[in-house]
Amino acid sequence: MPCHNGDEAHERQSVDIREKVILITGGASGIGAAMAKRFTESGAGAVIIADIDIDRAQEVATTVGGEAVHLDVTDEDETRSVIEQVARAHGTIDLLCLNAGIPTDGSVDAPNEDWQRTWDVNVMAHVYATRHALPGMLEKGSGYILTTASAAGLLTNIGAAPYSVTKHAAVALAEWLAVTYGQRGITVSCLCPMFVDTPMLAGFGGHTAEMQGWVKSLAITTDDVAEAVLEGITEERFLILPHPEVGEYFQRKAADYDRWIAGMQTLQSSVVPGT
C-alpha cells in the first residue's frame, strides 16, 4: 500500500548516466548547454539538444559531440514529433530534461500575452513533453524526467509574478508525476536553482541597482548547476538544489508561513526601495 504521509523509506538507488540517451530542451544556452557538456563528459550515449534557437543548438551540439534539433516547446505537434524522432533513432529516451524556460517579470499588471507565453513555455511545455514521452517510458518500465523549475517555484521571485506563479506550477507538475509514476519505474527530479549566471539573469535584475547587485551576489555558474544535477540524478533525488540555502528557506516557509512572508516583505523593500 503506498504511503500518503511521505514517511515511507525511500531506497536511494544509483543512476549511471553512461550510455544513456538524453534529450535536453533549451539546451542551446545557459544551464541546458552546461548539462549537455557535463552529461557528455560522464559518458552519455547520445545528447540531443532541442531548442527554438537552432543555430546555437547546433553550436552546442558540435562542441559536445551531440545532435541538435529545432523545437519550440510550446508547439505540441513539434514536441511529439521530436520525441518520436529521437526514440526512433536511438531506440529510447532514457533521460528527458525539460529545461527551456523564460523569465517574465512584472506584477498582475503584466500583459495577458506575457502571462500566457510564460505559462506555455514554463508549464504547458512540460505537460506536452511528458504526455508524449511517458507512454514509451512506461512500456519500457523505466525512464527519468528532470524538470528545470526554479527556487521561485518553492519560494518566490521578487518583481516577477508570472515567473514565480508558473514555476510553482512546474514544481507541482513534477511532484505529481513523481507521485503518480514512481512505482512504475519513472524517476522525476526537479531542479530549483536560485540565480545562475546565464543570459536569463538580465531578466531578473532589471528593476533597481539594489536588485541587480543582490541578484549578482547570489549567482552561481552553470557548471556548478550541472554538477549538482549530475549528483542529484545519480542519487535519484527529487529536489535538486544547487543553492543549498534554498532548502533551508523552503523549510522555514513551511514551518511558519507568516514569518517567512514578513521576511520576504523586508527583502522586497531593501531590493526595490519604496515598495
104 binding ligand NAD? (CB under 6 A)? no
Q: In the bound complex, what is the minimum distance in angstroms from residue 100's beta carbon to ligand NAD?
A: 4
232 binding ligand NAD? (CB under 6 A)? no
Q: In the bound complex, what is the minimum distance in angstroms from residue 199's beta carbon to ligand NAD?
A: 4
Read off the C-alpha cell for 149: 523549475
The Cα–Cα gap between 258 and 220 comes to 29
State which residue, 187 or 222, has the beta carbon closest to ligand NAD.
Answer: 222
3-class secondary-structure state, position 53 = coil
State which residue, 216 or 259, has the beta carbon closest to ligand NAD.
Answer: 216
Candidates 26, 66, 205, 232; binder of ligand NAD (CB under 6 A) is 26
Answer yes or no: 163 catalytic. yes
58 binding ligand NAD? (CB under 6 A)? no
Q: At what angle do helices 30-41 and 222-234 cross, to 10 degrees?
A: 50
Provide the 8-state DSSP code for 151.
G
Q: Which is the catalytic residue, given 144, 163, 181, 249?
A: 163
Q: DSSP for 193-244, please give it.
A: -S-BSSGGGGGTS-S-HHHHHHHHHH-B-HHHHHHHHHHHHHTT-SEE-SST
Residues that bind ligand NAD (CB under 6 A): 25-26, 28-32, 51-53, 71-74, 99-102, 121, 148, 150, 193, 195-196, 198-201
State the catalytic residues.
163
